[in-house]
Copies of this chain bind each other. A is one copy, B any other.
Amino acid sequence: MHVMIIGAAGMIGRKLAQEISSSAGLNGQPVHKMTLVDIVEPRAPDGCAGTVSCLRADPSVKTSAVDLMAARPDIIFHLAAIVSGEAEMAFAKGYRINLGSTQNLLEAIRTEAEVSAYQPRFVFTSSIAVFGKPMPDAIPDDFHTTPQTSYGTQKAICELLVNDYSRKGIIDGIGIRLPTVCIRPGKPNRAASSFFSGILREPLAGKQAILPVADTVRHWHASPRAAVAFLVHAATLDTDGLGSWRILNMPGLSASVAEQIAALERIAGAAAVALIKREPSAEIAKIVEGWPQDFDAARAISLGFVGEQSFDEIIQIYIDEEYGGNWP
């Protein structure tokens, strides 16, 4: 089995490549080849039994997408995107990368299939950014997509493409809408969502963190480990169970900032919590106010996708993965 990860240099891409390398295979089939693709050369994971190719390529360039698909991977994980903030500022670039790449890859697969039979599993990572206000407290599986950002628009369009190319038998596609991934390792960044990870990650490292919103703010979270497990499950499940709509809201954990902080206190004590500094930002509060707070992800759960049950669990996963299980 040949697995290709497009967007393999990103945080989730790296963890996914490592997970596949570390496991015996996918669906009981050994992975004899793994191709890792990104606009910067991805790092090969440790201990992969098969061949690993690390390629610098940009599928928003048509010929590049054609070259990638000429290798006829059995499973394609398409994670490549520029983030919400950048897509909002660089309108044309957002459409080129976040929509154009997907269009190019799907068309390259269609052209490949015209030469001889080819129908790869195509796992597309979508986002809860496809939803816009007004929203119910818990978003159901059949809630309509009214994105309020270009990023969300591009993801919603790709979902429609993945579904239609699947319906026509060109790909065996599935689109999964990931919750906000928490705790993101690394440094704080300028994303409006950065603080959701920051208020846990920074105090765990003995550093101060800024909380720009009220403790009552509620959001929808999954750990990086859960996100990787969603992707692997999406790559291996029987897509017959998806029926005619192949896009799924992933399960997650709806938690308020207060609940995040309470979990931090249980695991790391009052000293860690004391490192959270409240600096309300009207700007960030306004952005976050437009985000989903909770989902009823019944369909994905019935299909075997599993999210976290508590923020203690999410923090523990971070400690496992980033501190080798030993904290402090």
Q: Are A144 and B147 in contact (CB under 8 A)?
A: no
| Residues of chain B within 8 A of A133, CB atoms compared | 244
Interface string of A135-154 (1 = CB under 8 A from B): 00000001111111010010
Which A249-289 residues have C-beta < 8 A from chain B? none
Q: A132-B245, A245-B146 are in contact. Are A163 and B153 (CB under 8 A)?
A: yes
Tell me, rounded to whole Å, the shortest Cβ–Cβ distance linking A152 to chain B.
Answer: 9
Tell me, rounded to whole Å, the shortest Cβ–Cβ distance linking A189 to chain B.
Answer: 24
A164 close to chain B: CB less than 8 A = yes
Q: Are A168 and B244 in contact (CB under 8 A)?
A: no
Contact residue among B148, B157, B167, B245 (Cβ-Cβ distance under 8 Å from A167) = B148
Interface size in chain A (residues, C-beta < 8 A): 24
A315 close to chain B: CB less than 8 A = no
Interface string of A164-184 (1 = CB under 8 A from B): 100110000000000000000
A65 close to chain B: CB less than 8 A = no
Contact residue among B143, B147, B160, B168 (Cβ-Cβ distance under 8 Å from A147) = B160
A91 close to chain B: CB less than 8 A = yes
Tell me, rounded to whole Å, the shortest Cβ–Cβ distance linking A98 to chain B.
Answer: 12
For the complex, give the distance between the alpha carbons of A144 and B132 in Å.
13
| Residues of chain B within 8 A of A144, CB atoms compared | 142-145
**A residues near B, CB below 8 A?**
91-92, 110, 132-133, 142-148, 150, 153, 156-157, 160-161, 163-164, 167-168, 244-245
- Listed by A's residue number, 9 A-B pairs whose Cβ atoms lie within 8 Å are A132-B245, A133-B244, A146-B163, A146-B245, A147-B160, A147-B164, A150-B164, A153-B160, A156-B160
